[in-house]
Amino acid sequence: MITVSVKWQKEIFKEVEIDTTQSPYVFKCQLYDLTGVPPERQKIMVKGGLLKDDADWSTLGVKEGQKLMMMGTADEIVKSPEKGTVFVEDLPEEEQVVAVGHTAGLFNLGNTCYMNSTLQCLHSVPELKSSLIKYSHSGRNNDVDPSSHMLTIATRDLFNELDKSVKPVAPMQFWMVLRKKYPQFGQLHNGVFMQQDAEECWTQLLYTLSQSLRSPGSSENLDAVKAIFGIELISRIHCQESNEESSETESVYSLKCHISQEVNHLHEGIKHGLKSELEKASPALGRSATYLKESRINALPRYLTVQFVRFFWKRESNQKAKILRKVDYPLELDVYDFCSDDLRKKLDAPRQILRNEEGKKLGLKVNDTSSAQKENDVKMSDAEGSSNVDGEPSVVPMDEGEKETQMTGIYDLVAVLTHKGRSADSGHYVGWVKQENGKWIEFDDDNPKPRVEDDITRLSGGGDWHMAYIIMYKARVVSV
């Protein structure tokens, strides 16, 4: 790491750090944050001519304390409108999306599309942003290690920057802290940062946030990340050989969609993912035996994440190979069939209310007596289950003024993280996110593009095009 000063127009920026292990493009992204001059417009004078994006720092002879000269025109600063109010409907299509739903992209800092796509998908969750905003610089829980604290701060600050910016953002600070917390994301190959697995980035980031965003001195019930993404599973573990049987409860942040020759649809893949075989010691047999583990959902999250298990370790090539098989997924997902019997009973009344509400919107006649009875059942169910959190389908408000609602087991697709290529550690990752106005945006690093629903359903695989790797659904709820 060396420190230089940069002269641009009449300004001099002192003590600008250059990480010589990264490409000059990353340095240009830093200067973009300072000057507003996009990397492609920057002309920086170094030994031998202009600084190129992919140049090798070791050949440029840049020294500690050196003054560099930069030329280039900054993006025009947005001024207060001199004319009267312009209505959103009068703006061009792409500007309407910017006005109604945020579409700022993230600069790729060198094979960081796995990180950018993960951040764009998680940035779309208002409840997560709300929890991050409440997280204080000084209010670190003593149970949280310093690197987790810094990663949480960096996530919060980056989300804030994305919310305030229309131009692409360089996630420099976040990336530096991520690599410090999880060194595997800083792996180099021939001096270049390697592509990483987006699912690993997603999982590690959520795990860190789950530790940081837990209320100090509280039980796990006040874990914000668990409240937003946590899926409670209840499992029956059975050994056919000895007839031993046990049960266990666990909390996970995603369901797995296992892919085989029999799997053509998400439902089939999730069904396979909820069954597995375990090899463990059998007390009855006095030796190792095979157990069948069958799981059911016992508590639902606000946001349901599903990972397509597309990668497996291929010994011949010594890398994660990819299953290209097409697996369709719906825009609306009903998980009722995957729920435990107890949870299904609690979902029945809210589901009837939802059917009645949707029926009224379509102009269908609804049995009001039945509807009133069902609504009363919801309240009774809520009262009966208030002392037992397990399996409770109610959604506890996370913010003041937010109404309490009931889960229905029905979810709407709001984000898709795709991968293009043949290996998890190569290729390209992209985030596709549904905005609050109902429109979809493809976040391909610093180049967001408006998309339509048909584009989203084409991401199911079957070739070398972008295919869904992680998908996220938002719960459809009814008011209590």
Q: Give me the mean pLDDT over the 239-244 stretch.
A: 87
39 pLDDT band, cuts 50/70/90, is confident
348 SS3 class: helix
**DSSP letters spanning 273-310:** HTEEEEEEEETTTTEEEEEEEEEEEEE--SEEEEEEE-
Q: Are the beta carbons of 120 and 169 closer than 8 angstroms?
A: no
Closest to 471 measured CA to CA, from 81, 462, 457: 457
Q: Are the beta carbons of 43 and 72 closer than 8 angstroms?
A: yes
Q: Give me the mean pLDDT over the 354-375 stretch.
A: 68
Give the pLDDT score at 92: 53
Q: Are the beta carbons of 179 and 186 closer than 8 angstroms?
A: yes
DSSP assigned state of 417: E
Q: Are the beta carbons of 29 and 170 closer than 8 angstroms?
A: yes
Dig out the tokens for 396 from the structure: 């506890």
Give the pLDDT score at 86: 63
Q: How far apart are CA 424 and CA 310, in angstroms?
A: 9
Which residues contact residue 411 at a Cβ distance below 8 angstroms, ignoring those fewer than 6 apart?
Answer: 304, 332, 333, 334, 335, 473, 474, 475, 476
214 pLDDT band, cuts 50/70/90, is confident
24 SS3 class: helix
364 SS3 class: coil
**For residue 107, how many C-alpha atoms fall within 13 Å in the half-sphere facing its CB?**
24
Domains and CATH numbers, the chain: 2-71 (3.10.20.90)
Tell me which of 29, 113, 121, 239 is the catalytic residue: 113
Q: How far apart are CA 414 and CA 315, in angstroms?
A: 36
Closest to 199 measured CA to CA, from 472, 461, 475, 440: 472
Give the pLDDT score at 402: 64
Sequence length of the chain is 480
Closest to 123 measured CA to CA, from 141, 105, 140, 111: 105
Q: Give me the mean pLDDT over the 363-378 stretch.
A: 55
- Output Rg (C-alpha) for the chain, integer angstroms: 25
3-state per-residue secondary structure call for 68-136: EEEECCCCCCCCCCCCCCCCHHHCCHHHHHHHHCCCCCECCCCCCHHHHHHHHHHHCCHHHHHHHHCCC
DSSP assigned state of 404: P
Q: Is residue 138 scored above 60 in pLDDT?
A: no
Least confident of 44-48, 122-126, 214-218, 380-384: 380-384
459 pLDDT band, cuts 50/70/90, is very high
461 SS3 class: coil
Tell me which of 238, 265, 272, 428 is the catalytic residue: 428
Give the pLDDT score at 136: 76
Is there a catalytic annotation at residue 113?
Answer: yes
Q: Is residue 9 scored above 80 in pLDDT?
A: yes
Is there a catalytic annotation at residue 123?
Answer: no
Q: What is the pTM of this model?
A: 0.77
Strands 311-314 and 319-322: antiparallel
**For residue 154, how many C-alpha atoms fall within 13 Å in the half-sphere facing its CB?**
21
248 SS3 class: strand
Q: Are the beta carbons of 206 and 229 closer than 8 angstroms?
A: yes
Amino acid occupying residue 140: R
412 SS3 class: strand
Closest to 322 measured CA to CA, from 195, 217, 160: 195
**DSSP letters spanning 154-206:** HHHHHHHHHHH-SS-B--HHHHHHHHHH-GGGG-EETTEEPP--HHHHHHHHH
Dig out the tokens for 304 from the structure: 């349901």
Give the pLDDT score at 82: 56
Provide the angle, in degrees to the nearest 10, between the axes of the packed helices 24-35 and 172-181: 130
User: 147: burial class by Cβ within 10 Å (0-12, 13-18, 19+)?
Assistant: middle
385 pLDDT band, cuts 50/70/90, is very low
Q: How far apart are CA 471 and CA 415, in angstroms?
A: 6
The per-residue pLDDT of the chain, averaged, comes to 84
Q: Are the beta carbons of 352 and 374 closer than 8 angstroms?
A: yes
Which residues contact residue 224 at a Cβ distance below 8 angstroms, ignoring those fewer than 6 apart?
Answer: 127, 128, 131, 209, 210, 213, 214, 398
Give the pLDDT score at 118: 98
Report the DSSP beta bridge partners of residue 440: 434, 451
pLDDT tens digits for range 192-207: 889 899 999 999 999 9
Q: Give me the mean pLDDT over the 276-296 stretch.
A: 90
Least confident of 172-186, 278-292, 327-341, 367-381: 367-381
CA dihedral sign, ordered 406, 407, 411, 416: positive
Element (H, E) at 360: helix 341-361
